[in-house]
Structure 1
């Protein structure tokens, strides 16, 4: 029978070979933290070939549970905001709302955080507590503050950390507000995605400190950024590349689509920018910058597939489809969403279609900008 120590050693070897685990201090920290202790409540496994996606619970003692804990995979631990594995017998078809991030991404981000001994770190999104425990093993629990939005998730993490004798400062609340009582921090790391980096994180980081977060949006494209905080109260830095994706912080989730507008109305024309652009990760990120308030859905209408952008806030919409080898767009509402998409894509392509690593994120008290 394969034991936990062997499974963890194999996982660490894998993360080292793939280049995500790069330095000895983090190797020692990861070696000291048994991931299965943070999955005692089980996890959800995707049901093969299910459409829409269905999930089934895997509990301690079930076949594959321990091996799953040490797989380099993200493991869903909560569905639909409240449902955990012990609540389910059979299958469930709802959206995941909390997970244990794949260990290689956890360690890649911790390496990218560029900590030094004695640094004080604020973690946004405790989750299961695994990454919190690795931070504590590296820096000492007295130097780690972690904020979790979901009270039940926070309680489970607190229990798991306590079982290992690890006691960082754990806060239940809105991580988008940071934790002013512990500021200033040398580093802030977010294990949830955000549409915009909150200026308050900049305020709570000392000048010269770093913020590591994933910026994304409602079209699903996201990327990791590392920001340096400046003396003037602003922060800036590059996107790091790699296509990093996290669940968005709950306050940053999109609003319900509600009743769709009449998609047969509007002005129709030919367009050179078809929906195939979103199959390219960088192009999708650029499109998302052009229409940050829009959501994307695909519908079968009039015997064809139409891809539809809807901005619930403004009421604007655009429907794009292919007809006889041509791309057509039909738009309605107070603004022409697809015109903005075409303009942004045109500027990006005219600049040589730079990769996302050539983009710079800037955060000021007034908000966030992303430019190439």
Structure 2
């Protein structure tokens, strides 16, 4: 039986595991111990840290896997690259994975290859005069951990008085002795999902983002198609292709974060895996194929066949969140049967503890809708959300 290794057992790896099972693959799931839903679905589980490259490589060789993948997280991307290189598997290279998980390397490559991005500086935690180091940058600024995933270790800074607390926050969310400071670009945040296969970018799907405004913007939902002029879309695609080349990404899904300012696309960062927050589902619904299956087939060195035969289907998604820390008292879905409500998922049950929303992992579920038009999909999304009652006390 063909063996596939999936790194991570969390909510964003579950659809990958389920799809692999449907394809008849033997699933080997690796994650640290915890209450993760993917464990129950796997054919075999290894309770190991997915950032332990040597350990995971040893397991991969022992099991003679034919492919290795993850979804929705950057944490283990270097491990994916290491195993792919060492075993001759199809997927992200180790060199590309190192760039994809280090925002400083990424930004340096962007600068080298002419990718439009915010001005930045590398700053050491031991720097005795950080104000001087970043003096050429204009407020507001963003302080970033270069090796964290999602929105962790990222904070907006509007004045010198905020430096000390911001530096401390970043220090708590990194394993490096340096961090990134870049100018905060005031503009419209959006993203794109894409796929690099056999030296080419197979598709690029720009999407709009619903953003939660905390210390920084945190995506809490997405929609496609995104209403942009053809000129802006072509500019975004050009910047993405340049970034993919700069990073050396190939045979992997791509998750891109952009800012649109004055009609020009600035690249925030790009990951060598599919996005979280229902983005793989957005691609699947929009194009009419199972995106998780395409990811798995690529990892197994099979032709993923990105031909698009069906009409494009507008769709929208949104996380379900709690406004406070507490325990779920009740969950009620008052939505009736509706073919255009694609999925309503709850990650927790009554009696479970949940956190006030700050970052993506604080989600307590999601909802996905579609429609003949984007407006119809979005209207249904928010009506359906109003019909979901979650009481937290």
TM-score by length of 2: 0.29
Larger RCO, structure (CA 8 Å, separation 6 or more):
2
Q: Which has the larger radius of gyration?
A: 1
